[in-house]
């Protein structure tokens, strides 16, 4: 899953980036409203962490322009303001949730997991596909209860497919959602990771849809 963090404070930006990266997400960063708006308007993020008090363009304006442009990714706003009117303004601009500064990083992670679950129509942090289970909170994958050790790229690939379970996902979409903006988008490694993932899982849950991409579904539905 690919996220965008828009926060002008360098230390806080780095802290959020590190926490999200350690949690298995691919993270792009921006340090002002104009850069954040451009990235959010041009890249397919699964969720955004957006500060309200940004230079060049404030977070509310960034969010309003994204929504007017039809950008629907979930947005978690960060604010040092504790007035209820500021929270209302954020929600009315199109925010999906908020965290007030100072905050515990675990709360940011939990709220993002909840937003991503909601988009996927999932009620819990555990995603299941036949015998394959992915625990998004623990970053753990099991097959028939047995742990499966995955690399960071393999985990991101499986996590994205789990969030899109039952839908055909193109190779281009996978590249856009499991690599950051600086990655070589002409890479042909998706097929390699799919092959490795199939071998490690040992069950036939990832199907190739010729000419279209891949679909994750239980073996009996294949």
Contact criterion met (CB below 8 Å) for 219 and 203: yes
Contact criterion met (CB below 8 Å) for 30 and 39: yes
Mean pLDDT of the chain: 91
Arithmetic mean of pLDDT, 151-177: 93
Q: Give the tens place of pLDDT for each residue, 51-93.
A: 999 999 999 999 999 999 999 999 999 988 667 777 888 999 9
- What is the pTM for the complete model shown? 0.85
What phi and psi, each to the nearest 5 degrees, are found at residue 211? 80, -5
Q: Give the tens place of pLDDT for each residue, 4-51.
A: 999 999 999 999 999 999 998 999 999 999 999 999 999 999 999 999
Arithmetic mean of pLDDT, 99-119: 94
Contact criterion met (CB below 8 Å) for 33 and 4: no
Rounded-to-integer distance, Cα 149 and Cα 156, Å: 13
Q: Residue 197 class from Cβ within 10 Å (0-12 exposed, 13-18 middle, 19+ buried)?
A: buried
pLDDT at 186: 54
Angle, alpha carbons 78-126-141 (nearest 5°): 110
| Domains defined for the chain, CATH in brackets | 2-120 (3.40.50.2300), 126-221 (1.10.10.10)
Please, which residues bridge with residue 29 across strands? Answer: 5
Q: Give the tens place of pLDDT for each residue, 27-40.
A: 999 999 999 999 99
Angle, alpha carbons 176-138-172 (nearest 5°): 10
SS3 32: coil
């Amino acid at each position: 899953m690919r996220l965008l963090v828009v926060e002008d404070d360098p230390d806080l930006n780095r802290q959020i980036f590190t926490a999200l990266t350690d949690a298995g997400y691919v993270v792009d960063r921006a340090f002002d409203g104009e850069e954040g708006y451009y990235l959010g308007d041009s890249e397919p993020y699964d969720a955004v962490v957006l500060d309200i008090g940004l230079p060049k363009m404030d977070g509310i304006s960034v969010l309003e322009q994204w929504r007017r442009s039809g950008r629907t990714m979930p947005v978690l706003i960060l604010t040092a303001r504790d007035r209820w009117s500021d929270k209302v303004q954020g929600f009315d601009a199109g925010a999906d949730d908020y965290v007030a500064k100072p905050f515990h990083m675990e709360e940011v992670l939990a709220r993002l997991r909840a937003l991503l679950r909601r988009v996927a129509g999932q009620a819990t942090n555990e995603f299941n596909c036949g015998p394959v289970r992915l625990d998004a909170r623990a970053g753990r994958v099991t097959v028939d209860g047995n742990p499966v050790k995955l690399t960071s790229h393999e985990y991101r690939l499986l996590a994205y497919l789990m969030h899109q379970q039952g839908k055909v996902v193109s190779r281009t979409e996978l590249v856009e959602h499991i690599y950051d903006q600086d990655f070589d988008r002409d890479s042909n490694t998706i097929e390699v990771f799919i092959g490795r993932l199939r071998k490690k899982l040992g069950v036939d849950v990832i199907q190739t849809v010729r000419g279209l991409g891949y679909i994750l579904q239980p073996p009996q539905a294949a």
